[in-house]
Structure 1
Amino acid sequence: MEKIKIIIADDHTMFLQGIVSLLENEENITILGKAENGNAVFKIMENAIPDIILLDISMPEMDGIEVTKIIKQKYPSIKILIVSTHSNIQIIAKLIRMGADGYLLKNAEKQELLHAIHTIKKGETYFCKEVLDKNDDNNSKIKNNTFFITELSSREKEILILIAQEFTGSEIAEKTFISLNTVNTHRRNLISKLNVKNTAGLVKYAIEYGLLD
């Protein structure tokens, strides 16, 4: 079985060493490197590309939010598992919109960490029970954001944002270098996928989930 290649990033040395000690003897996991800030993640990636990055949010020089944004733009196949003390719904939703694949609190047991890693490697998402319970009223938003990230293509996301910014079909076609017919096809597909009734529903969806941030 091919080993899962992992980079671990956290600015707390003891926690970083603790995660390494939990994972380094796992037969199906290889630790490519450990980083104490976001910039160090990209230094490690100059020599090896990981399958998964275990990522803290609060780090010096470049935080986990910025790392997630860059990774998902440049290396969309790399999975991001956030491991943090934060359980704020706004932070979680923002990271999901950027493409984070999972969220785990730092008090998690080893078995949950391993389960999250293997779940994400399979292409699924993982959000720990504590996060979902604490944000019970927002569970549907977390799930819908996850659906949004996994089900819409990059082109559909782009067009949805342009629609929400009130560009006309012709203007969107010009900006994206596609035909008006293709824009209209994407619009119809978005309405169907997001289960809304019309363009106004698309705009409401984009605003509700913070796509215009």
Structure 2
Amino acid sequence: MNKINLLIADDHTMFLQGIASLLEQEPEINIAGKAFNGIEALEIIKKENIDLIILDISMPEMDGIALSKILKKDFLNVKILVVSTHSNIMIISRLIRIGVNGYLSKNAEKSELLKAIHTIVNGENYFSKETAEKHLLNSSKIEKQVSNLTELSSREKEILVLIAYEYNTAEIAEKTFISLNTVNTHRKNLLSKLNAKNTAGLVKYAVENGLVD
């Protein structure tokens, strides 16, 4: 029986070493590589025949979301299982839209991790029961936010990104070559369209929908 070539990518050394130690005990699994960020993981994938990558979302230099996008574009043979402490349904939904093959909490039992690995390698997706329930319960909210994003003009998206990166009104006006009044009008329109109460709400929306890292 061919072994499953596994790559683990996580910037927390204790978790990376711990999960590797657990899985090394399984005769059908080969730990083909370990990486502390997405860039290291990508270099290993270019050199090794990886069947499945277990990755975290928050990693330096290149995070799990950015890496997943690249893999789903250029390395379709590599299956993706996200194992993370993140529970934000909007982030999880974004990963699902990218096309990851599974999602587990870092609190998952070893038995569920193994089940997820085998399910994914055998051609099906695996999402924990809690994740699936959250996604279903919030699907209408997610669809509404995605719909709101498509309603924004290119200029409004540009302004939203600059707001998220903490540029003030004067700086935004200078960068976009528009007046202060026009910037303020765009800000008001963004608050209205995105049902946000304040700037913090706009920043949250931009992050959750992948407009900024």
Q: TM-score, normalised by structure 2?
A: 0.64
* Structure 1 unaligned spans of 5+: 145-163, 165-210
The unaligned stretches of length 5 or more in structure 2 are 144-150, 152-208
Match of 1:99 in 2: 99
Which residue in 2 is equivalent to 1:64? Answer: 64
Q: 4+ runs of 1 displaced by more than 6 Å?
A: 139-142
Equivalents in 1 of 2:127, 2:140: separation in Å?
A: 13
1:135 CA drift (Å): 4.6
What CA distance in whole angstroms lies between the structure 2 residues aligned with 1:115 and 1:141? 30
Paired residue for 1:84?
84
AA partner of residue 18 (structure 2): G
Cα deviation for residue 47 of structure 1 reads 2.3
CA contact (8 A) 1:87 1:134 kept: no
Q: How many residues align?
A: 148
Rounded Cα–Cα distance in structure 2 between residues aligned with 1:141 and 1:109: 30
Show the 5 A alignment for 1:91-170: 91-135=91-135, 137-138=137-138
Using the aligned pairs only, state the percent identity.
59
Structure 1 pair 71–141 and aligned structure 2 pair: CA distance change class (3 A): farther
Distance 1:2 1:141 in 2: 43
* Counterpart-to-counterpart distance in 2, 1:141 and 1:121: 31
Contact 2:93 2:135 in 1 (8 A): no
Q: Check whether the contact 1:72–1:99 (CA below 8 A) recurs between aligned residues.
A: yes
Equivalents in 1 of 2:210, 2:104: separation in Å?
Answer: 26
Distance in 1 (CA, whole Å) between partners of 2:75 and 2:141 is 26
Given residue 17 of structure 2, which amino acid in structure 1 is its aligned partner? Q
Q: Secondary structure at the match of 2:47?
A: coil
Return the letter of the residue paired with 1:4. I
Q: Is the 8 A contact 1:68 1:80 kept in 2?
A: yes
1:48 aligns with 2:53: no
Distance 1:133 1:212 in 2: 23
Q: Give the TM-score of the pair, scaled to structure 1.
A: 0.64
Larger gyration radius, structure 1 or structure 2: 2
Q: Distance between the aligned counterparts of 2:118 and 2:34, measured in 1?
A: 19
Paired residue for 1:177? none
